[in-house]
Amino acid sequence: MVAIKTLVENRKAKRDYEILETYEAGIVLKGSEVKSARQGRISIKDAYADVKNGELYLIDMHIAPYKQAGRFGHDPERPRKLLLHKYEINRLIGKVKEKGLTLIPLRVYLKGHLIKVELALAKGKRQYEKREAIKRRIIEKEIQRALKYEKR
């Protein structure tokens, strides 16, 4: 069994998007980026995946500079290539061309010694859909509380 340690999670993603499918992708990083990411100095809050020349790139993911790297460090906002099988990339390109679908990172994690990204094919929620989901969650909590007190 391979140990999995989550480095960063995109908590807003499940609130703002309807998750249709998830994929596990590798990511191409420089040495200073790996060291900084392992320290948890990474943000995927506004990140998304985009297609360039038939390859997927993660855009707007911020990895803070590694202090010990000095002048050999990295650009914190550079696009980073995602590693997927060709058939997965072609399938995702076709899906992303559909109206309203986008690729967003849900979390970045360590799987053994490798850094992986959990990508989601998602559809944006409208404001009223978000409100309905919040109402539903509150009602479910109240029901659970009521059932808990009845058991006493």
Q: What angle do CA 81, 54, 115 make, to 5 degrees?
A: 20
Gap between the Cα atoms of 80 and 108, Å rounded: 13
**Contacts of residue 151, Cβ cutoff 8 Å, sequence gap at least 6:** none
**According to the model, what pLDDT value does residue 73 have?**
66
What's the Cα-to-Cα distance from 76 to each of 39, 79, 146, rounded to whole Å?
15, 9, 49
- The pLDDT > 90 percentage for the chain reads 17
Is 80 exceeded by the pLDDT of residue 128? no
What pLDDT, on the 0 to 100 scale, is given for residue 152? 66
Q: What is the DSSP string of 4-21?
A: EEEEEE-THHHHHEEEEE
Comparison of pLDDT for 12 and 87, the residue scoring more = 87
* Domain extent listing, the chain: 4-125
Neighbours of 115 (CB within 10 A): 19
The topology under which CATH files domain 4-125 is: Small Protein B; Chain: A; (2.40.280)
| pLDDT tens-place string over residues 99-117 | 778 899 999 998 988 899 9
